[in-house]
Amino acid sequence: MERYSKTSPSKWQSQYSEEFKRFVCNDFLTGTLTKREIENKYNIGHSRLTYWLKEIGFDYSKPSIVSLPKMKDYTNKLSDKEEEMWLSVKMVDYNILYLK
């Protein structure tokens, strides 16, 4: 795989081959490495991967929100009868502690 397609007029600017761009984007999208780790692995600029992903139609710059399925409500809600029993126990405790 060729990394550069041609030498650019500037010595500071590189033109990467399409094959290399696709390879790096595919490695990011199918792997477990973060964007920063991919950029360090292939020694490319920090915004280069984001730019390439946009070129292929994957907008990585926007955070994606994934909706999770609703979970069963596990809060401690008492039925009316349980609430009444709980209050009566509290009243007994109160009477024992404070009304001796």
| Neighbouring-strand partners of residue 6 | 15
Note the pTM of the prediction, 2 decimals: 0.52
Q: What is the pLDDT of residue 15?
A: 83
Question: pLDDT digit string (tens) for 54-75?
Answer: 888 887 766 555 566 776 666 6
Q: Which residue has the tokens 């020694």?
A: 43
Asked whether the predicted pLDDT for residue 91 surpasses 60, the reply is: yes
Instruction: State mean pLDDT over 44-62.
Output: 83
Burial 29-68 (b: 16+ CB within 10 A, else e): eeeeeeeeebbeebebeeebbbebbeeeeeebeeeeeeee
Q: How far, in Å, CA of 69 to CA of 33, rounded?
A: 27
Residue 83 structure tokens = 């609430």
- Among positive and negative, which fits the CA dihedral 8, 50, 26, 22? negative
